[in-house]
Amino acid sequence: METAPTPAGSPPPPVHVAIIMDGNGRWAKARGLPRTAGHKRGAEAVRRTVEAARALGISYLTLYAFSSENWKRPTNEVTDLMGLLRLYLRNEVSNLHKNGIRLRIIGDRSRLSPDIVTLIDESEAKTAGNTALTLVLALSYGGRQEIVAAARHLAAAVAAGTLQADAIDEQALSARLFTADIPDPDLVIRTSGEKRISNFLLWQSAYAEFVFSDVLWPDFGRDQLEDAMRDFHGRDRRYGNAPG
């Protein structure tokens, strides 16, 4: 898997792209298939999109794979999703490693089964030195919960006397998020036509550009990623500054 050079005169790719993968269930329903079939096709879209991100020179790709709210789904569906996660970690990590891709997992691991946590630890360790692309999977993840956990860490440090309350600033809180060593996303994409962020990277997306695609996640791939990047490059990113 080769990384394509940026054509002369073309803008550089966004450093960090984050995607809310939505539409597996609707894709399956439209075809008279069980939701499991949609999730399986969604896993294929993950593979295509990771390959495309690496080829296009994106440095960080974060995928919203399983939210903290997804635990409320029917038990059978959660079981199927966890099974797909196991398969991905067992079967795809060697390919990621071969292609120089680092795997990172963010989220509340305490709710994951011990064997999945072990697979995560092994996968992260195996790929830790890779630099072609960092693939971040948000699992059992919620943006509000992440901020609450960071606030608790800050409060504990103040109570212990290792941090002064007036020393708490944006940098101090950012340093206690799951993404402390990952740059904030430049571009956030949501598939399936929905136009909300669903508790995803709330703090980190403060100045991200958002692209909402009508394509259902199982049909997403390089063409759709490039479309979103073209939209991104057409934006005037002022970070709160007055318009020119």
Tokens 């360790």 found at: 125
Sheet with 209-212, side-by-side order of all strands: 101-106, 133-141, 60-67, 16-20, 187-190, 209-212
- pLDDT at residue number 150: 98
Q: Which residues of the chain have pLDDT under 50?
A: none
- Do 188 and 19 touch, CB atoms closer than 8 A? yes
Active site residues: 22, 70
Assess if residue 33 is contained within a domain: yes
For position 90, which CATH number holds?
3.40.1180.10
Assess if residue 172 is contained within a domain: no
- E-assigned strand segments in 119-180: 133-141
Assess if residue 71 is contained within a domain: yes
Q: How many domains does the chain have?
A: 1
Q: Which domain holds residue 225?
A: 16-146+185-233
Assess if residue 153 is contained within a domain: no
Assess if residue 209 is contained within a domain: yes
Assess if residue 35 is contained within a domain: yes
- Annotated binding residues for Mg(2+): 22, 209
Residues 6+ apart with CB under 8 A from 124: 103, 104, 105
- Do 213 and 46 touch, CB atoms closer than 8 A? no
Please provide the DSSP assignment of 69-124 as one string.
Answer: GGGGS-HHHHHHHHHHHHHHHHHTHHHHHHTTEEEEEES-GGGS-HHHHHHHHHHH
pTM for this predicted structure: 0.93
SS3 call for 224: helix
- Do 100 and 130 touch, CB atoms closer than 8 A? yes
- pLDDT at residue number 198: 97
- Do 61 and 19 touch, CB atoms closer than 8 A? yes
- pLDDT tens digit sequence for 120-157: 999 999 999 999 999 999 999 999 999 999 999 999 99
- pLDDT at residue number 17: 98
- pLDDT at residue number 88: 93
